[in-house]
Amino acid sequence: MESTLQLAMKLDPREVNHHLSTVFWQMEVTKFLHSCELEQRHVMDLIPGLLQPLQSSGIFGTKLSSCSVPTLFGSNIERMQLAVLVMVCGKTVDEGFGLAFRIIKDYHLKASQIYSLAGKKLVCDGRFADIEQLIFCIQSSGLSETSSVCDDVLVQCVHTLAEKRDSTDMEPLIKLIVDPGRKISAYIKCRQLKSAYLLAVKYSRLDDVRKILHEAQKLGQTKMQQICLKRLGQQVET
């Protein structure tokens, strides 16, 4: 009896609560993903597409099988993958956002990285309305540094679109970026130099005007080069 009591006392109450919480939230995640499967949203088909960006980031060395469903009992990379999965599996982002938020909070995961991965997946699937909903969910979550996290997500989405040379859906996403410097950089990335220039002038950001000039030279946009040079010349004279 005494040895049994000693064994029982080895676990800290906080550790016990953590394990119980993991079991509870794993059950909630399992029920959610099962409901997605019942509605013909195939979870297993999404998993391989979530593995590559996580493993190529180089943050974690753990290799995951594309044939297994990640769980909260696994490594942090599995938890990250699961948090992204519940957001992109729902009919809308809002359906799984609460679960993802809880996973991020309980396991001290980097929110901006997970939300950015979810945003990238939504871009690849052409779910642009869901990207705006993701931003709204983040803003409503009470997360600290909300604007910075939202900008991280939006910049990642814009860069993904720029790589695909798809400019039709960029403008609404760029407009949601709050930080002027990051918004200007996003316009430059998408080769929308006029919009970038107007913002740079509005906020008196001469370094950004120089970046726009450099990009205009690369793209052979003579008129934009002249505009930038004129602006920079005026500042030198004053």
- Tell me, what's the pLDDT at 237? 46
Instruction: Assess whether pLDDT exceeds 80 at residue 165.
Output: no
Portion of the chain with pLDDT greater than 90, in percent:
65
Q: Enter the DSSP assignment of 40.
A: T
Model confidence pLDDT, tens digit, residues 75-127:
898 999 999 999 999 889 999 999 999 999 999 999 999 999 999 999 988 89
Q: Give the residue from 113, 120, 117, 114 showing the smallest Cα distance to 100.
A: 114
97's tokens: 């956002």
Tokens of 143: 């997360």
Average pLDDT over residues 208-235: 93
pLDDT of residue 114: 95
Contact, 111 vs 149, CB < 8 A? yes
Q: Which residues contact 217 (CB under 8 A, 6 or more apart)?
A: 225
Rounded Cα–Cα distance for residues 164 and 183 (Å) = 19
With bands split at pLDDT 50, 70 and 90, how would you rate the model's confidence at 35? very high
Q: How confident is the model at residue 238 (pLDDT cuts 50, 70, 90)?
A: very low
Helix residue spans in the chain (DSSP H): 2-8, 13-38, 43-56, 76-89, 93-106, 111-124, 128-140, 146-163, 170-175, 180-189, 193-202, 206-219, 222-237
Residue 238, classified by CB atoms within 10 Å of its CB into exposed (0-12), middle (13-18) or buried (19+), is: exposed
Which stretch of 56-65, 81-90, 164-173, 181-190 has the lowest confidence by average pLDDT? 56-65
pLDDT of residue 170: 87
What CA–CA distance (Å, rounded) separates 65 from 86? 18
Cα distances (angstroms) measured from residue 48 to each of 22, 45, 54, 65: 24, 7, 11, 8
> Which residue shows structure tokens 């297994």?
68
Flag whether pLDDT at 169 surpasses 90: no
What integer is the mean pLDDT of 203-220?
Answer: 96
Provide the 3-class DSSP secondary structure of residue 179: coil
Across 127-138, average pLDDT: 95
* Residue 79 exposed, middle or buried by CB count within 10 Å (0-12, 13-18, 19+): buried
Q: What is the mean pLDDT of the chain?
A: 87
- Both tokens of residue 217? 């030279």
pTM of the model: 0.85
The answer to whether residue 56 scores a pLDDT higher than 60 is: no
Q: Name residue 81's amino acid.
A: Q
Count of alpha carbons within 13 Å of 124, Cβ hemisphere only? 12
